Amino acid sequence: MTNPLQAYALADRSVNTEDKGKVLVKVFQVMLEKLEIAKTAIARKDYATKCRELSKITTALEVLIASLDMSQGEMAGNLQRLYGYVMAQIREAHVTLSPRTIDGCKEILTLLHDGFAKANDNKAKADTDAHRKLVTA
């Protein structure tokens, strides 16, 4: 398994020209998709798929935790705790095979996805407005 910091560094280099906000939103979209795949796999008793998908989500959360800039204050600490909580719930789902636990993870990740998507949209709009003002000035 790749070290989360190494994975983040590789991802950072590969998306340095991409909008990192869009990449973050996409990461949450993929995690939500993988939770649904895992939930379906549990219903089908396809435990190999369940394990693979939940493990990928855990790795993504580890990378997100490793990428947090803790010097940015309370928000980074809150995200770290929230990501850690979701990871703990995913470990529980590995063992208990509980669709309800997976649904709880989906609720949290959906809220985060929607919040980051809105923030990214607001930033893009502000950037466009600022660019427009420079061009027309």
Give the helix ranges, DSSP H, for the chain: 4-14, 20-44, 47-67, 74-96, 99-136
Could you identify the residue written with the tokens 């709880």? 104
13-30 pLDDT tens trace:
555 545 888 899 999 999
Q: Place 35 in a pLDDT band, splitting at 50, 70 and 90.
A: very high
Residue-wise pLDDT tens digits, 41-95: 999 999 999 999 999 999 999 999 999 999 988 999 999 999 999 999 999 999 9
- Integer Cα distance of 70 and 42 in angstroms: 36
Query: What domains, with CATH codes, occur in the chain?
Result: 4-136 (1.20.120.340)
Burial of 97 (0-12, 13-18, 19+ CB in 10 A): middle
CA distances from 48 to 1, 56, 102 (A): 17, 12, 16
Say what the pLDDT of residue 136 is.
62
